[in-house]
Chains A and B, each alone.
Chain A
């Protein structure tokens, strides 16, 4: 595998929604044998390479299920420009009415944590999300701010932990740990990658030895040549709540303008 493909930005193992930001899972063909890529890192790199697209847009439906089973719906639009690892993304809420217009700008970097700013129209101000804030839930969902960022495959160390079947699909089970230069709330993550199409099937995030968040991928479809999970469900195992994200109107390689991914731009409503 070339170094270029290895660096093309991977939906980080420790992050869930990243999969939707980077478009995560992809393949060009079924039953591909990974030539010379039998290490855990190569598998992750190949998964990332197949998910690569120069831009992405979708409308998301977020359903937050609390411990008592009550459901809160939120909707957002999402646009990403640039290849993974060095991309910029804007996420803007469209529902419910009280959070309509709230926007998050994420500027990803290959060598360090992303920069993030949130625009809150009610106070007409943007606020930088600090590094220590990123373990916090994002707007009452089970995704944390860190889960919204995208990180490069080289920011982690990997080891193959075995093979397992997830939802009927044979998967590689890979353990990933953030490198020392990487700032993360998670100690490690276990990632399941499908053998047939290199799509992510599940991620479990650990703090010390405890699983704290689990992300399950489902409804995997081929969209413009990229195998993409249309439904992602993040469970916060500490509080017993979960958030389901359904992707609608998903498109890759759409024409987006770089000027729409700035602090100035997220003020525009």
Chain B
């Protein structure tokens, strides 16, 4: 599979290079980021982290009804966030980021209002900006929890638009999980007991079986809304743990609960602001008995809560300012006491805000903040970005995090940082 994918990727890239420029578009960049953390954490003494990424994407349209897209990522890290070897990765299931991976490799057939996309691609649902609970086919890379990047999925999507109505069906034969923070690094908060009982990462147990989803959208005059359904697995895992071995160690295993989810979203632009709402009800699949994960004998069955996650936000643009403010909430309808890594739920019961200002065509400022309504967690970020010439952009960021160890945001209170990003786009 991996070899075939690499060959297909190379074929598209090479063939596309030889075609008429009218049918070919390309974009890419090389980027370097340096993070400086003023504080160490109990499991990570590294205070300077550097990451590098080169990305190239090619879009080739050999005929009006046919398109191909291919993309390649090459990564490096000073802090073991990237796999050491040069294996070509297509599945995005590794604990570390792959050094060499396919970002996308897909073909698109078009006939009238019908689109069929097959291959590795990005599928985005939802309307809100900070937490998008209906975005079920959009796993993320959470190695840096507060700066996550979208991951593609492998599957097929059929979309049909007729007038104001759009229908979408998605089939994904296997789960692409979100990538979690590494156990030995600062974005994993380690409890005090770890000093006496070592923690062992037993990896992931991936479920078998396909995922499917459907979405209906209506784009009306000045108003739009969608309804969606998902049948598959949560790309965010529950964490199964057990004490095993001599001397005893805490063994952690990631498992992905089988869920169904029902979602809705809407956007209502008014004269003064745009109102966006989005909600999803997550439930263990009815009829599916909670199962012990294969390979996880001795561990409890994979459970997850039933809950509703929702976001409400207001947007307002005034001159060169853009303001977004809102609230993220959740309602647990059945608590099964599952331990999960869930940044989306971790932001629930929070007030969120973002303001950005375009200084001029070259320079931008942005500020964003999240505060839990109980005051136990606070995140604030300031960013200044400036382009140089046609290709260069420099971004300076500062992130402040405060709160208690028991809060999802607050647990990262020693991870405040400043960073510099230099990007060359081509």
On A, residues with C-beta under 8 Å from B are 64, 66, 70, 72-73, 94-98, 100-101, 109, 112, 115, 121, 123-125, 128, 130-133, 135-137, 140-141, 183, 241, 257, 259, 262-264, 268-269
Contacts and interface: CB of A to CB of B under 8 A. Distances in A.
Nearest to B115: A264
Given A101-B27, A124-B122, A268-B67, A130 B360 contact: no
Given A72-B361, A98-B29, A269-B69, A133 B317 contact: yes
B366 to A, nearest CB: 14
B270 A264 contact: no
Contacts of A137: 320, 358
Contacts of B317: 130, 132-133, 136
Contact of A97 (B67, B269, B390): B390
Contact of A135 (B274, B319, B390): B319
Nearest to B125: A125
A97 B391 contact: yes
Contacts of A95: 390
B146 to A, nearest CB: 16
B166 interface: yes
B268 to A, nearest CB: 9
Contact of A66 (B108, B361, B390): B361
A98 B161 contact: no
Contact of A264 (B166, B320, B423): B166
Nearest to A64: B361
B219 interface: yes
B295 to A, nearest CB: 33
A98 B361 contact: no
Interface string B120-152: 001010000000000000000000000000100
B360 A140 contact: yes
A266 to B, nearest CB: 11
Of the candidates A70, A97, A263, the one having the most CB atoms from chain B within 10 angstroms of its own CB is A97
Contacts, number: 108
B390 A96 contact: yes
Nearest to A124: B122
Nearest to B57: A269
A97 B29 contact: yes
A188 B101 CA distance: 55
Q: What's the dominant secondary structure at chain B's contact region?
A: strand
A123 B149 CA distance: 9
B4 to A, nearest CB: 24
A115 B221 contact: yes
B161 A263 contact: yes
Contacts of A264: 113, 115, 159, 161, 166
Interface residues of B, number: 48
Nearest to A136: B317
A131 B320 contact: no
B272 A97 contact: no
B113 A262 contact: yes
A97 to B, nearest CB: 4
Interface string B8-26: 0000000000000000010
B320 A263 contact: no
Given A73-B390, A264-B161, 19 more contacts: A66-B362, A96-B425, A97-B29, A101-B25, A115-B219, A123-B150, A131-B271, A132-B316, A136-B322, A141-B361, A183-B271, A241-B360, A241-B361, A259-B113, A263-B166, A263-B219, A264-B113, A264-B159, A268-B67
Nearest to A67: B360
Of the candidates B166, B269, B271, the one having the most CB atoms from chain A within 10 angstroms of its own CB is B269
Given A259-B112, A268-B110, A132 B67 contact: no
6 shortest A-B CB distances, which residue pairs? A140-B361, A97-B425, A130-B269, A133-B317, A130-B274, A98-B425
Interface in B61-80: 64, 67, 69
Given A98-B29, A98-B425, A140-B361, A128 B269 contact: yes
Contacts of A125: 124
Contacts of B113: 259, 262, 264
A141 B361 CA distance: 7
Interface in B278-320: 315-320
A147 B353 CA distance: 29
Interface string B26-67: 011100000000000000000000000000000100001001
A226 to B, nearest CB: 24
A64 B270 CA distance: 31
A130 B362 contact: no
A94 B24 CA distance: 12
Contacts of B27: 97, 100-101, 121
B224 A128 contact: yes
A66 B360 contact: yes
